[in-house]
């Protein structure tokens, strides 16, 4: 009889634990909103994470693109959604810490409008130039730009994008004039860089490193704090004369403000597990030149606060203004 009672007690505890765990996770299909067009890096990573989460949790996880207004439309949609864990946002820094400094009348708060879950990945940028540019080093590029103001142009993936702000900030620090040409995404900009329609980009090595190996582009510097492990011979902008300069971006997962702690932490645990699965990491992280972050919701919240202040300074110094 004692054995039967012990068994029943064990089963009841297991069922209770399952019940609590079930309450931590959304019961309806989960929607991941991507505030950019299909086909980009944010979209691709979101879809791979969503597909794997769906397998692990046995419930549909769908990705919905809501592009427009420099990512504001999609971010606002999530910020105004119910905080039940069924609607999430995957975005780069723009939605959280850049747009609030660029637009006066935003309908959501970049910091207080969301529940931080985790920074998924960060990725480096490199300075790439067309071979027609008479520069083999970053210092030579700066010297040429100073001697020929307005002769060079650079492409970004949109007005007010992190690449736009980061290059204009660099221009301010160096006192050089390079003409900005905005594009609707990095892909079209790289196409024009390859054809020589523009001269320079600050962009992920994923899109330019193969072309550099083929001799179609030239990499002059890494915009990272330290040299990129896979490009050890490429000096950083900082060690090339702009001490302390760093640029790049990150993708993060968040939900509407007010999500229960147990829900955000359960989502964090699942996503961290997915990112660190060896097959997933090799195929969808390492090959894309991403670096896993997977910090806790509390660490992400602190990181957001620091990034908010950093981008406020960078944007002011860059001189970029949007209405």
Q: Are residue 42 and residue 106 in the same domain, yes or no?
A: yes
- Number of structural domains found in the chain: 2
**Residue 41 has what pLDDT?**
85
* pLDDT above 60: residue 153: yes
**Mean pLDDT value across the chain:** 90
Dist CA 167 CA 173 (whole Å) = 10
Is 16 a domain residue?
no
Three-class DSSP labels, 36-67: CCCCCHHHHHHHHHHHHHHHHHCCCEEEEECC
- Given 207, 240, 273, the domain boundary residue is 240
**Residue 11 has what pLDDT?**
39
pLDDT digits (tens, 9 = 90+) for 59-94: 999 999 999 888 999 999 999 999 999 999 999 999
- Given 186, 214, 240, the domain boundary residue is 240
Q: Are residue 147 and residue 292 in the same domain, yes or no?
A: no
Is 2 a domain residue?
no
pLDDT digits (tens, 9 = 90+) for 95-118: 999 999 999 888 999 999 999 999
Contact predicate 248/165, CB 8 Å: no
Please choose, from the candidates 217, 234, 254, the residue with its C-alpha nearest in 3D space to the C-alpha of residue 75: 254
Domain with residue 292: its CATH number is 3.40.190.150
- Mean pLDDT, to the nearest integer, of 166-176? 95
- Mean pLDDT, to the nearest integer, of 39-67? 93
Q: Are residue 194 and residue 269 in the same domain, yes or no?
A: no
pTM of the model: 0.84
Is 293 a domain residue?
yes
Scan for tokens 């935003």, then name that residue: 106
Q: Are residue 145 and residue 193 in the same domain, yes or no?
A: yes
Please choose, from the candidates 222, 215, 154, the residue with its C-alpha nearest in 3D space to the C-alpha of residue 190: 154
Q: Are residue 257 and residue 231 in the same domain, yes or no?
A: no
**Residue 6 has what pLDDT?**
41
**Residue 17 has what pLDDT?**
37
DSSP H or E segment with residue 79: helix 72-79
Q: How far apart are the first and last CA of the chain?
A: 75
Q: Are residue 114 and residue 263 in the same domain, yes or no?
A: yes
Scan for tokens 């949007």, then name that residue: 322
Domain with residue 146: its CATH number is 3.40.190.10
Q: Are residue 48 and residue 115 in the same domain, yes or no?
A: yes
Is 213 a domain residue?
yes
CB neighbours of residue 272 within 10 Å: 17
Range of the domain at 300: 24-122+249-318
Dist CA 18 CA 8 (whole Å) = 15
Q: Are residue 30 and residue 47 in the same domain, yes or no?
A: yes
Please choose, from the candidates 77, 125, 132, 126, the residue with its C-alpha nearest in 3D space to the C-alpha of residue 255: 77
Q: Are residue 102 and residue 50 in the same domain, yes or no?
A: yes
Is 11 a domain residue?
no
Q: Are residue 43 and residue 102 in the same domain, yes or no?
A: yes
Dist CA 12 CA 196 (whole Å) = 69
- Mean pLDDT, to the nearest integer, of 151-174? 93
Q: Are residue 130 and residue 231 in the same domain, yes or no?
A: yes
Is 1 a domain residue?
no
């Amino acid at each position: 009889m004692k054995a039967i009672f012990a068994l029943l007690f064990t089963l009841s505890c297991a069922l209770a634990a399952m019940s609590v765990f079930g309450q931590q996770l959304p019961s309806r299909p989960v929607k991941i909103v991507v505030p950019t067009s299909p086909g980009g890096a944010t979209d691709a990573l979101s879809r791979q994470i969503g597909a794997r989460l769906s397998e692990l949790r046995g419930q549909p996880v769908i990705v919905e693109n809501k592009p427009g207004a420099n990512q504001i439309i999609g971010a606002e949609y999530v910020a105004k959604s119910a905080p039940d864990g069924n609607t999430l946002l995957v975005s780069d820094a723009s939605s959280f810490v850049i747009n609030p400094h660029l637009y006066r009348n935003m309908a959501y708060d970049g910091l207080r409008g969301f529940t931080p879950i985790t920074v998924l990945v960060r990725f480096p940028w490199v300075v790439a130039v067309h071979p027609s540019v008479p520069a083999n080093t970053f210092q030579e590029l700066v010297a040429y730009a100073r001697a020929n103001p307005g002769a060079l142009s650079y492409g970004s993936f949109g007005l007010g994008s992190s690449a736009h702000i980061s290059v204009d900030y660099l221009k301010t620090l160096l006192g050089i004039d390079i003409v900005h040409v905005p594009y609707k995404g990095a892909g079209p900009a790289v196409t024009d860089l390859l054809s020589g329609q523009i001269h320079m980009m600050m962009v992920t090595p994923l899109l330019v490193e193969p072309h550099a190996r083929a001799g179609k582009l030239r990499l002059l510097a890494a915009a990272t704090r330290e040299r990129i492990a896979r490009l050890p011979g490429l000096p950083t902008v900082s060690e090339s004369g702009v001490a302390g300069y760093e640029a790049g971006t990150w993708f993060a997962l968040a939900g509407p403000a007010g999500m229960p702690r147990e829900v955000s932490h359960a989502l964090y645990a699942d996503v961290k597990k997915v990112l660190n699965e060896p097959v997933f990491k090799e195929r969808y992280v390492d090959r894309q030149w991403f670096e896993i972050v997977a910090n806790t919701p509390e660490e992400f919240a602190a990181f957001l606060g620091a990034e908010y202040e950093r981008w406020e300074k960078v944007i002011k110094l860059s001189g970029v203004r949007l209405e």
